[in-house]
Amino acid sequence: MHNTQPWRFRVRSENVIEMLADWDRGLRVRDPRGRSLHVSCGTALFHLRVAARVAGRRPAAELLPPSDEAPGLLAIVRFDARAPLSAEMRELYELIPHRHTNRKPFSERLIPAPVLSEMRTAAVLERARLIFLDRRSATDLLDNAAIAEDELAIKPEYLAELAAWSTGHGVPAHVQGPLAIGDVDPVRDFGRRVGSARFKARPQLAVLTTAADEPLDWLRAGQAPAAGAAGGDQARRARAWAGRLRLPPSRSITTSCLRRSAHRADDPRVGPGEDEALVSVVQPVH
């Protein structure tokens, strides 16, 4: 999503906060339906829910409520009940500032199977499905991503959109990652990558899917990656959802691991990083 952070929060009272889509920060070329926008907003919504729990409140989120007065209203979150704070929720809250896209090569170590299982369970709780791809399906996904990138690269409007978000508050050069050495390049190219490095020959890839392909499903799916970060110990959690592939939201894919009825919402590259990734600018909450 080019780090567009396409959301706004509006405080209605001490017990009610609304989340709205900021369509001025959307990607009209790469994301014409707004799928990635809703997924991104879903992640921000999950963080709001976690922050409420740390404040001792139990959040109740109404997704896509009907509203003629507020175009772009995505959710109303009410905080009517008190709730005890668990150690797990406190730890998840403390990890929020450390969760960001890592465009560097990952370690050859794989995420342990119990952690993968916890990530799958967290996705299911948000009504999504997280599928870790086998080698053949991962290769198919990378091939699709490369083809889609080539198709977009010849469109002047896409290049203009990319340039607008690859500086300043989007994805500046210092977080774009290195150029890939060899054939495996699982990182989106924003045009200003720094240095070079060899990525894993067999990257650990996943696909986050939903049963339907509508804004409500996208909002729910966006909360799944954030919830999935709750798997394993603190170091693994901070780096579990560490990268995104280059496939645009509108691109359909076919792999042996996906059901025909599944709809792709996100394509995470997962694994422990060799070192800490640099962080993009975060816009103030408003």
Are residue 19 and residue 84 in the same domain, yes or no? yes
The better pLDDT of the pair 174, 265 is held by 265
We report the CATH number of the domain holding residue 176 as 3.40.109.10
Give residue 171's pLDDT: 73
DSSP string, 219-264: HHHHHHHHHHTTSSSHHHHHHSEEEE-S--TT-----TTS-TT-EE
Are residue 157 and residue 48 in the same domain, yes or no? no
Are residue 73 and residue 127 in the same domain, yes or no? no
Are residue 261 and residue 137 in the same domain, yes or no? yes
User: Which domain does 50 fall in, by range?
Assistant: 7-94
Q: Which of 184, 181, 170, 18 is nearest to 101 (CA)?
A: 170
Overall number of domains in the chain: 2
**Is residue 171 left, alpha or beta, with left meaning phi > 0 and alpha meaning psi from -120 to 50?**
beta
Are residue 58 and residue 82 in the same domain, yes or no? yes
Are residue 124 and residue 250 in the same domain, yes or no? yes
- 122: number of CA atoms within 13 Å, CB side? 23
Q: Which of 58, 78, 94 is the last residue of a domain?
A: 94
Residue 241 pairs in a beta bridge with 270
Which pLDDT tens digit goes with each residue over 238-264?
A: 344 445 554 555 455 555 555 555 788
Looking at the domain assignment, is residue 208 inside a domain?
A: yes
Residues 6+ apart with CB under 8 A from 48: 9, 17, 19, 59, 77
Q: For 80-104, what is the mean pLDDT?
A: 83
Are residue 89 and residue 107 in the same domain, yes or no? no
Are residue 52 and residue 121 in the same domain, yes or no? no
Q: For 85-108, what is the mean pLDDT?
A: 82
Are residue 236 and residue 153 in the same domain, yes or no? yes
